Amino acid sequence: MKKLALHWWILIAMGLGVGYGLIATQFGATQHVLEYVKPIGTLFLNLLKMIAVPLVLFSLVAGVASLNDSSKMGRIGGKSILLYLGTTAVAITIGLLVVNVIQPGSGITEEMRENISSGYTADATERVEAAKDVSMIEQLVGIVPTNPFGALAKPNMLQVVFFALMLGIALTRLSNKRNTAHIVEVFDSLADAIIEMVHIIMKIAPIGVFAMLAGVIADLGKNPEQMVELLGALLWYMVAVVVAILIHGLLVYGLLLKTFTKVGFREFYRAVIPAQLLAFSSSSSAATLPVTIDCVEKKIGVDEEVSSFVLPLGATINMDGTGLYQGVAAVFIASVYGPDLDLTQQLQIVLTAALASIGTAAVPGVGIVMLTIVLSAIGVDNQGIALILGVDRILDMCRTTLNVTGDALVATIVASSEGMVHPPNKDPSPEGGS
Ligand code: ASP
């Protein structure tokens, strides 16, 4: 009998996790799920987080050091950043178009607004405070680590990327004077060993996603009546975010794939689906990174030199889903608190949401913290996030999925443009298998 591919197992486990969470909510057993089931999901996530930093360090040093053409790195970096910025700007624009068409704020009365946001004011204040610590200039300066070991320990992915790049370049330059091949070989073997660890960890992915999703539902279901009311009131806002994500993820990405690569639409999505499902379940691009790297290298055939550089960079700075969501949320909140935004303010959203999404950390729930910056920029009270906080986790799952897909897409396009895609054998082996 043909073995079921891993992504099907994950999908089934996701369904079971949601079902289990719902049944537990129905029988008032959410506490049991939160205490005993959710930690299994956290354990699985920790396993992935454990390997993300060493994987980036080892594979990036090995990738750069084995590169003979020094200008290639600059070219790859330039193309990636351009594509990352371009796709994010398009994503936000699509979000704005969709929210202006659907107008989810028009059905929200003042009474509903007060009802919904009153439960989340303390939460909103906490996030607004958190956003005050973020300064763009500080973030730029912070890319250079004063202590690379500190960067690895923290971890700060951009700092790790920066250090690994410099170490790789230094090893290449040194290779004229001494034999550095064995050092590069060590890094390369370590990177391969970590990828092997991804394969081992992915064997328990179905259990992990089951526990994560049961936990999410139990979290949301602590107060079921309030949640149902909330979902009803914010339905059109959520529909606007999801529709925009689908348009960007399917139409725009599909078009880019067709124009700039030889990788087929189905082939691409089949390859990245394990990473997408994990991003959806965990709401963290950073935790998903090892699986994204594995999918892109092994299933699409993107060269390690490209993936080890472009993907960690993307997981940190490229967030199409987050930018798009921030655009939709800003217009929605503004329209509920009135007056409606004019065109200049909406254009301002494209710029600020693009910057805010770059500054968003690749972990759950940070997109809404950075949204407060967008709201302040267009003169809307940033406490307005209280209105949408209750459903943020659900939308976080969706936007993280787009964030991860966008990273994989840019890596594929950049690699194609450099002739660095080596399609694997079309042997239909089950995904995630070693
Ligand atoms: N959870 C998102 C990510 O990890 C970031 C966010 O929008 O909150 O990509």
| Residue 302 backbone dihedrals phi, psi, to 5 degrees | -70, 135
- Model pLDDT, residue 431: 42
Question: What number does the ligand 1 atom closest to the CA of 288 have?
Answer: 4
The Å distance, Cα 393 to ligand 1 centre, comes to 10
pLDDT at position 223 is 80
The rounded Å distance from CA 206 to ligand 1 centre is 22
The pLDDT of residue 68 is 66
For residue range 352-386, list pLDDT tens digits in order: 999 888 888 888 988 999 999 899 999 998 888 99
Categorize the per-residue pLDDT at 415 as very low, low, confident or very high, splitting at 50, 70 and 90.
very high
Cβ-count burial of 151 within 10 angstroms (0-12 exposed, 13-18 middle, 19+ buried)?
buried
Residue to mutate (ligand 1; options 403, 404, 405, 407; most atoms within 8 A of CB): 403
Ligand 1 atom with the smallest distance to the CA of 404 is: 9
CA atoms within 13 A on the CB side of 129: 6
Beta-bridge mates of residue 421: 302
- Ligand 1 centroid – CA 171 distance (Å): 34
Distance 77 CA to ligand 1 centre (A): 23
Which residue in the block uniquely carries the two structure tokens 């178009």?
97
- Tell me the pLDDT tens digit for each residue of 205-235: 999 999 999 999 998 888 888 888 888 889 9
Confidence bin at 134 (pLDDT 50/70/90) = low
Q: Kindly report the average pLDDT of the chain as a whole number.
A: 90
Q: Is the CB of 319 under 6 A from ligand 1?
A: yes
Give the single-character DSSP code of 148. Answer: H
> How many of the other CB atoms lie within 10 Å of CB of 51?
20
**Rounded Cα–Cα distance for residues 427 and 71 (Å):** 35
**Distance, CA 284 to ligand 1 centroid (Å)?**
6
Of the two residues 302 and 109, the one the predictor is more confident about is: 302
SS3 content of the chain, % helix, strand, coil (to 5): 80, 0, 20
Enter the DSSP assignment of 382. Answer: G
Go through 119-137 and write b for each residue having 16 or more CB atoms within 10 A of its CB, e for each that does not: ebeeebeebbeebeebeee
Which atom of ligand 1 sits closest to the CA of residue 285? Answer: 4
- Report how far ligand 1's centroid is from the alpha carbon of 4 (Å): 30
Atom of ligand 1 nearest to the CA of 315: 9
Q: How confident is the model over 173-197, as pLDDT tens digits?
A: 898 888 889 999 999 999 999 999 9
Lowest model confidence (mean pLDDT) among 14-28, 29-43, 250-264, 418-432: 418-432
Copy the structure tokens of residue 96: 């704005």
Rounded distance between C-alpha atoms, residue 375 and residue 357, angstroms: 13
Among 155-164, 270-279, 417-426, name the most confident range: 270-279
CATH class (in words) of the domain with range 6-417: mainly alpha
Q: Which residues of 275-310 are buried (b: 16+ CB within 10 A; e: fewer)?
A: bbbbbbbbbbbbbbbbbbbbbbbbbbbbbbbbbbbb
Q: Structural domain boundaries of the chain?
A: 6-417
What is the 321 CA–ligand 1 centroid distance (Å)? 8
Task: Indicate the pTM of the whole model.
Answer: 0.91
Name, in order, each residue with C-beta under 8 angstroms of 27's C-beta and a sequence gap of 6 or more.
none
For a mutational test of ligand 1's pocket, the pick from 285, 320, 371, 391, i.e. the residue with the most ligand atoms closer than 8 A to its C-beta, is 285
Helix axes 121-131, 366-377, angle to 10 degrees: 80
Q: Is 366 in the pocket of ligand 1 (CB under 6 A)?
A: yes
Q: What is the pLDDT of residues 77-112, one digit of tens each?
A: 999 999 999 999 999 999 999 999 999 988 888 888
Q: How far is the CA of 364 from the centre of ligand 1 (A)?
A: 5
Q: What percent of the chain has pLDDT over 90?
A: 65
